[in-house]
Amino acid sequence: MIQEPLYIIKVGGNIIDNDEKLSSFLIAFAALKGRKILVHGGGKLATKLANDLSVPQQMVDGRRITDGETLNIVTMVYAGLINKQLVARLNALDSKSIGLSGADANLISAHKRNHPTIDFGFVGDVDQVDAGFLLSLIEQGLNVIIAPITQDKNGQLLNTNADTIAQEIAKATAKHTPTILIYSFEKKGVMMDVNDDTTLIPAINAELFEKLKVEKAIFEGMIPKLENALQAVNAGVKKVIIGDATALESLVEGKTGTTIY
């Protein structure tokens, strides 16, 4: 077994939307040594295209209600435009990359979300990740760039949360090889005061997380991310790092960001 870690890196929407930050991120991603998988969402482009096409959008708990037209829009934007632009830019940085959705080679099996009160439409929840196929591509020296579209066993495409996909991939690859999951975005990491970089919390374990949650000492929007992170660690992921998308090397070396272990 190769002991050098595999990095599963989720890049946040605010980075995708900002061409300068995206360039810095892609340079940092290309420069990061080792085996890498990138999971991206769509930033604001899907919402913009929906507006241009007069397809009304409805968000519930930060999730996009996905009717048939919206599914076509997110498939075009995530698996088409953004995925291929990221691949082309990384290739031009000599960081050879292949872009896939969860449907390709049945990489990520999912089912339509069954919620007791809300009809999310064509939204998928992940059942299984084919880690073996992912690792076979990585062993050929490729970065794998993943768009958050999956499919069910009837051939229905499904819009799927990119944070969850990153977590599920990390849990699956962790069974085969040491895996580090990185949630990279526009902030320095998890902070006591979201507007004050000096309040960065360098490391969080389950015990500290419970304490911070009870004390309401962390930004509420960060709680699901941290719960996801702890769940990944419990499932065998070596560590989860949350931090600045343009400083991947420092994140990996523990010089910045928040490490969940």
Binding stretches for a second copy (CB under 8 A) = 52-53, 72, 75-81, 83-85, 87-89, 91-93, 96-101, 103-106, 133, 136, 140, 142, 149, 151, 153-157
Distance of closest approach, residue 221 Cβ to a second copy, in angstroms: 29
Would you tell me how many other CB atoms lie within 10 Å of the CB of residue 228? 22
Give the nearer residue to a second copy in terms of CB position, either 83 or 228: 83
Distance of closest approach, residue 123 Cβ to a second copy, in angstroms: 15
Distance of closest approach, residue 96 Cβ to a second copy, in angstroms: 6
Give the nearer residue to a second copy in terms of CB position, either 151 or 258: 151
Give the nearer residue to a second copy in terms of CB position, either 77 or 240: 77
Give the nearer residue to a second copy in terms of CB position, either 79 or 190: 79
Are 184 and 12 contacting, i.e. CB atoms less than 8 angstroms apart?
Answer: yes
Euclidean distance between the first and the last CA atom of the chain, given in angstroms as a whole number: 22
Using CB atoms within 10 Å of the CB of residue 211, give its burial: 0 to 12 exposed, 13 to 18 middle, 19+ buried.
Answer: exposed
> What's the rounded Cα separation, in Å, for the pair 193 and 195?
5
Distance of closest approach, residue 245 Cβ to a second copy, in angstroms: 19
Using CB atoms within 10 Å of the CB of residue 74, give its burial: 0 to 12 exposed, 13 to 18 middle, 19+ buried.
Answer: buried
